[in-house]
Amino acid sequence: MDFYRFARGVVKIILSPLYRIETIGLENIPKEGGVLLCSNHINNLDPPIVGITMKRSVVFMAKDELFHVPILNKILPYLHAFPVKRGKADREALRKGLETLRAGKVLGVFPEGTRSKTGELGKGMAGVGFFALKTDARVIPCGIIGPYKLFRKVKVVYGEPISFEELRNKKASADEATELIMTHIQKILLQYK
């Protein structure tokens, strides 16, 4: 058993009873092929919560600062995470993201680039739209809903794949693609609140 699956099992045992996690829409996740998983971001526990509710391994883009924290910097690569420098176009992170999707893996991203302080969905970064337009990965919107209070329910909702055919045909910008993704995440949040 690899470290990722072991860690996922341990985290699931710890977090599932604490937050009574409810997962909706797992049937929307393709069993194989590249998947761009785009979720809102409300808590530091979002990545592990997504990781334990998904049947497939998720490669997360994580803020570069985490890779400078002792111990964490040793563990993160084993959890299939790679760094992204926030606030500027990080070519290396974009290349790694494309590589992940083209290899038929699941790339987990939080398009807002940072946690929402209010719980409201913020503006998405263009990088996520770039991934959607430059690969044939299925784009899955995800909504995480919950107060993250002990023994209160946290819902993780996986929406249906978003079609990018129309945007690709009209040579849309990465910003337009990101906007479409954010609209789908917002719909999930409103529907399942």
**What digits encode the pLDDT tens for the residues 46-61?**
999 999 999 999 999 9
pLDDT at 191: 96
pLDDT at 138: 97
Contact between 159 and 25 (Cβ < 8 Å): yes
- Residues constituting the chain: 193
Which CATH architecture group holds 3-192?
Answer: 3-Layer(aba) Sandwich (3.40)
> Which DSSP symbol is given to 65?
G
| Predicted TM-score (pTM) of this structure | 0.94
Torsion sign over Cα 189, 62, 140, 95 = positive
Angle at which helices 46-53 and 3-19 pack, to 10 degrees?
Answer: 110
pLDDT at 59: 97
Amino acid residing at 143:
G
Instruction: Show the tokens assigned to 40.
Output: 């809102």
Q: Residue 146 to residues 20, 71, 84: CA-CA distances in angstroms?
A: 10, 29, 26
Low-confidence ranges of the chain (pLDDT < 50): none
Instruction: Show the tokens assigned to 38.
Output: 């785009």
Query: Could you tell me the residue ranges of all domains in the chain?
Result: 3-192
pLDDT at 1: 60
